[in-house]
Amino acid sequence: MQSEETNKVAVQPPDKEKIRKIWRVALILGIVTACEFAVAFILPPEYRMIKIVTFILMTVVKAFYIVAEFMHLGHEVKSLIYSILIPMAFVVWLLIALIVEGGSILIVR
């Protein structure tokens, strides 16, 4: 038979600073998402390239906040951050190069 002491759980008081930080990040992500919707619905189809660049930039901002806050990378040492960001930059460069060069095969034909 188990004693009653092993079944008790000590509830910690909520950390108001952490809760405030989560709400702040959620608010920033919400504002960026609202801006994306505004750009999508307000700009006419003639501004297609501006829309694409704006969406990419806003997506990078959202990815930064998600990685920095929810994955706790923003609180790590700089060398760890650089060891993740620099290879990622090369991968993005590779994808862009492959897309550009892949499109040029149609011109050659």
At 55-71, the pLDDT tens digits run 988 988 888 888 888 77
Query: Cα(88)–Cα(94) distance, rounded to whole angstroms?
Result: 10
Whether the pLDDT of residue 76 is over 80: the answer is no
Domain boundaries, the chain: 15-75, 76-109
Res. 108: pLDDT tops 60: yes
What is the value of pTM for the model shown?
0.62
pLDDT category, 93, cuts 50, 70, 90?
very high
Average pLDDT over every residue of 9-16: 79
Work out the number of other CB atoms within 10 angstroms of the CB of residue 24: 12
Rounded to the nearest 5 percent, the helix, strand and coil shares of the chain are 85, 0, 15
> How is residue 13 written in tokens?
């008081």
Q: What is the pLDDT of residue 13?
A: 76
